[in-house]
Structure 1
Amino acid sequence: MCLVADFDPTTPSIARVYDFLLGGKDHFAVDREVAGRLLAVAPISADVMRENRQFLARAVQWAARQGITQFVDLGCGMPTAPNTHDSVRQASQDARVVLIDNNAVVLAHLRALAAHGDPGVTAIEGDIREVPAILGAVGAAIDLTRPACLVMGALLHFFPPDAARDLVAAYVAALAPGSYVVLSVGRGDGDTADRGFGAYSSGGTAAYNHSVADFTGFFGPLALVEPGIVDARLWHPDAAPDGPLPPRTGQSLVGVARVG
C-alpha cells in the first residue's frame, strides 16, 4: 500500500526517541544520543512529552464518554504507556482502535498487540501523508460513516504550517458529523526552545515550532471543545492546578474539536 520506513538500528527514529523520553525500553543507542542532545539544551522536553501523552489519554477517554466507539491514531508511535488503545479500553471495552505508523519497530509492536493482545485493534502500515491510501485502509477497519475520534498527537510539528493545516483538513473531510479531532504539538519560546527544536531535528526529521495562531488554524472551521487551545496540563486535568502554571520554555499545546 504505502512505503514503510526500513529498519536501521544505526539511524535514529523519532518514535524511539519519544519512547526513551517517556521512560520506555524500545530504543537504541543512536536514539538515546539524539534524546541526550535534546535534554542537554532543553531539559523540560521529557516532561513535555509525558504531559502530551497524559493529555492524549484523557482526550480519548473523554471522547469515549461522549459515545465515540471508533478511534484512529495517525503516526501513533510506540505503544509506550499511556497510549491510545489502553486509554480507550479504560473507558470502552468494545471500541475499535486503528493505529497507523510507518516505522518498522513500531509496526512490529502494533502487530503483536493486534494479533495477541486486543482483537479490537487494527495496525496499519503507511505514510500518513498518503491520505487516500490511509483512509482506504482505515475504512476497511471501521465505519467512517459513523462518528470517530481522530488523533494526531505530537505529529504536526514535523510539518510546515500550511502542510499541517492541509493534512488535518484532508482527514477531517472524511469524518462523519459528531466526530472529534484531537491535536497536539510541542512548542516553546526563546533561545532554549530554538536549541531544543534544533536538537530534535538532529534526528533526521525537521521539527517546526508552530505559533499558537498556526496551531489554532490547524482546526480550520471546527468548533473547539472547552477549554480550547491550552497547555496540555490544563485540558480537563485529573486534578485542578493550585494556581496559574509557572512560565517555562516549553509546553505541549493541545486542543480537541468537534466535527459538524
Structure 2
Amino acid sequence: MTDVRPGSATDVPHRARMWSYWLGGKDHYAADRRCADAVSAVYPRAAEVIRATHGFVQRAVRHLAEHGVRQFVDVGPGLPVDRDLRPALGELAPATRVVHIDQDPFVLIRAQALPPSGTGIDVYRDADHRDPAALLAAAATVLDLTRPVAVLFTGVLGYVRSPQRAAKIVQEVAAALAPGSAVVVWEATATSAGMRSAMAIRNADGAGYDLWDVADLRSLFAGLDLLGPGLVPVDEWWPGRAVTSTAPADAYGGVARVPARTGAAPVTGPITGPITGPITAPITAVPRPVPEPEPVTTPITVLDAAPPPAAELRTERPSPARVWNYWLGGKDHYAADRAVGDAVLALYPGIRDLAAASRRFLVHTVDHLARSGVRQFLDIGCGLPTRPNTHEIAQAVVPDARVVYVDNDPQVLIHSRAFQAGRGGVVTYIEADLRDTATVLARAGTDLDLTAPVAVLFMGVLGFVDAPEMHHAVRSITSALAPGSHLVLWESTDTSPQIQAAVAAQTGMGLPYRLSTVAELRDCFTGLELLEPGIVPINAWRPEQPQPVHVDGYGGVARVVGRW
C-alpha cells in the first residue's frame, strides 16, 4: 500500500529519493529521475559530488570508530544505500550504538523495513534537525551523552537557510557533548557556476536549500578542534588514495573534536566492549601543526628521585642520550659524546636528517593520537628533553593528558626535574630498564589507568637491545594495554651502506647499537592494527609535504584491538 502522508508523494521530486538515484539505489520514481537528470544536464558532476560526500562520511566514521568512538548520531541520513553507516560500523565495532534522526516520512517508512544491522543498537528517531533540544533528547533515548558521541550533520544545514542559525544549532549540540566527542559536517558550496545552476533547478522544485560560502561553513566549527586537514573539499579529506577528479568537489566538509572544558573530568576508554572488527579503509592524513605549548605550572614527579652519584654520570664516556642531543643541536653533551657524534657524521652525514625526522615523527604521532582522544602516554626510553617533549605536545591538545617517561640514564633523571606539566595534567619520570617490563608496567600504573587506552612510545631505543629482547619488550607492554591503546615505534634501519658503516664505527667507540631490518620492525606490530600508511620511512608518515630526503629510520603506529 502506498503511503500518502505529506512529503511521501511520488509525483513530486524528493531529495532522499534523488540521492538514492544518483548513488545507484532503487528507491526513486519518475519525478525524482526527471529532476535529477535536469540537474545533471546543467551540472554533469552532480552524481560524482554526491558520491564524494558519501565517501567523506564513510571515511570520517571509520576514522572515529578506529579511535574509540562507539556512539553516533546521524542527522539527516536519507534513504539507506550500500555502505552506509549501518554495515560499516557493524564491521568495525559490533557494539556501536547509532541513532539516525530524520523527519522525512519516506525515510522513516523505509527504515521500518531494514534488516537488523551488525551494530549493538541501531534506531531511527523522528525529530527536527533545526531543534538542538529535540536532537539531543532523541539521541539520549539510547545513548549515554556523558561519554563521547559523534554527531553527523550530512548536508542538512543548508535547509536552515541561515548560517548564523545553523552555527547556533551546531554549537548548542556540541556544548551538550562530552569532551572527546566529535562533530562531522559537510555541505554543498557555491564554488562553481554549475553547482549554482543545479541548486536553482532544485529550489524551483521547492527544495529550499541555500548553498554555503566556505567562510560561513568554517564558522560552524567555532570553539571546536578541527582535525587535519581541516575544512576541505570532501574528496580531499584524508582520501586514502590519489584524488583523480579534475576539480575539487563543490561540497566542503570537516571533522572536529569537542575539547576538554576547564574543570571537566577526563573521558577515556570505549563506551562499551572490546573492538574486534577489522579496519579496512586506509587513512592518509596531513597532521595539524602542533600549537605552541601553554605556560606550564606543575613540576614533574620523579620516582626513585635520589640524586645519582656523580660517578654515575661518567662524562668521559659517550652517552646515547647526549650523542643524540648533539645531533639534534642541543647543549647537553661533552667531548666524548661529540667525538662519537662527529665520527658518525663523517661516515653518515644523513644522521642529522634522521634525528630531525625522528622529532617530527614524535610530534606528528603524539598530536594525532591526542586529537583522536588518547589521554595517556607512556614514553619508554625518552632521552634528554628536547622541545617539544611528549607531554608538551599532548597537553597542548589535551591539557589534562597524563604522561609517564621511562629511562635508565642518570643524566636524564637529573634533567627530568626541570620538566613541567601543563595545567591539570600529570607528568612522571620512572627510572627503569625497558627490558624489565613488569617494573615499567607496575610503576606506570600508579599514574596511568591501564584499563583505559594508553599510547606507548618506543622512539629509537630498541636498537640498544637484541632482537629477541626488542620483541619481548614490545609484546609484553602492548599485551597489557586496553583495547583502543596504540603502539608508536620507530628504529634506525640497515637500509644503506653508509648507516651500517657509521653504526659499526659508533659501536667500536664504546656505544653499541643494533640496526633493525624492516622485517624485524614489522614483527613488532604482529597482532595489532597498523594505521595508514603502515611501516614507512619516518619522514614519510603523513608528512605536511613530500619529503625528498630518504632517511634510514622506519616506523609506524598501530592500534591495540579487542581480544576474545
What is the letter of the counterpart of residue 15 of structure 1?
A
* Alpha-carbon separation, structure 1, partners of 2:313 and 2:444: 24
Partner SS state of residue 182, structure 1:
strand
- Determine which of 150, 167, 172 is the counterpart of 2:478: 172
Offset at 1:233? 1.2
**Partner of residue 462 from structure 2, selected from 156, 179, 182:** 156
Deviation of 1:102 (Å): 1.0
Instruction: Give the corresponding residue for 1:256.
Output: 557
The 8 Å contact of residues 400 and 425 in structure 2, kept in 1 or not, is answered as no
Matching residue within 367, 375, 399 for 1:69 = 375
User: Residue 35 of structure 1: which of 341, 347, 355 is its match?
Assistant: 341
Contact 2:435 2:469 in 1 (8 A): no
Counterpart of 1:140 in structure 2 is: 446
Matches within 5 A, 1:67-146: 67-114=373-420, 120-146=426-452
C-alpha distance after superposition, 1:147-190 (max 9, x if no partner): 01000001112222222111100111111100000000012434
Q: Is the contact made by 1:14 and 1:203 (CA closer than 8 Å) also made in structure 2?
A: no
Q: Is the 8 A contact 1:78 1:106 kept in 2?
A: yes
Distance 1:148 1:115 in 2: 18
Deviations 1:199-225 (A, max 9, x none): 332453421221111111111211100
Superposed, 1:46-57 pairs within 5 Å as: 46-57=352-363
* Residue of structure 1 in register with 2:128 after alignment: none
Aligned partner of 1:219 in structure 2 is 525
Counterparts in 2 of 1:56 and 1:115: CA distance versus 1, 3 Å: closer
SS in 2 for 1:140: coil
| CA distance in 1: counterparts of 2:455 and 2:439, whole angstroms | 19
Aligned to 1:240: 545
Are the equivalent residues in 2 in contact too, given 1:94–1:120 (CA < 8 A)?
Answer: yes
TM-score by length of 1: 0.91
Change (3 A) 1:153 1:203: farther
* TM-score between both structures, scaled by the size of structure 2: 0.43
Counterpart contact for 2:530–2:556, Cα < 8 Å: yes
**Cα displacement (A) at 1:105:** 1.2
Q: Partners of 1:146 and 1:123 in 2: how far apart?
A: 20
Unaligned residue ranges in structure 1 (runs of 5+): none
Q: Which of 180, 183, 206 is 2:512 aligned to?
A: 206
Q: 1:115 to 1:69 in 2, by over 3 A?
A: closer
Distance 1:123 1:213, change over 3 A: same
Q: Is residue 350 of structure 2 the alignment partner of residue 44 of structure 1?
A: yes
Report the aligned-residue RMSD. Answer: 2.2
2:493 matches 1:187? yes
- The answer as to whether partners of 1:59 and 1:182 remain within 8 angstroms in 2 is yes
Quote the offset at 1:194 in angstroms.
1.5
Which whole-Å CA distance do the structure 2 matches of 1:50 and 1:199 have between them?
21
How far the C-alpha of 1:80 sits from its partner, in A, is: 1.1
State the one-letter code of the partner of 2:337.
D
Kept in 2, the 8 Å contact 1:17–1:27? The answer is yes
Deviations 1:83-128 (A, max 9, x none): 2122112221110110111111111111221589996210111111
Higher-helix-fraction structure = 1
Check whether the contact 2:493–2:515 (CA below 8 A) recurs between aligned residues: yes
**Does the C-alpha gap of structure 1 residues 84 and 202 become closer, same or farther in structure 2, counting only changes over 3 Å?**
farther
Partner Cα distance (2:424, 2:514) in 1: 35
Query: Is the 2:340–2:506 contact (alpha carbons within 8 Å) kept by the matching residues of 1?
Result: yes
Residue of structure 1 in register with 2:132 after alignment: none
Aligned partners of 1:118, 1:254: CA distance in 2, in Å?
Answer: 31
Structure of larger gyration radius: 2
The alpha carbon displacement at 1:66 in A equals: 1.3
Contact 2:395-2:422 within 8 A present in 1 as well: no
Gaps of at least 5 residues in structure 2 are: 1-302
Amino acid in structure 2 at the alignment position of 1:101:
D
CA–CA distance in structure 2, aligned partners of residues 202 and 144 of structure 1:
40
Match of 2:65 in 1: none
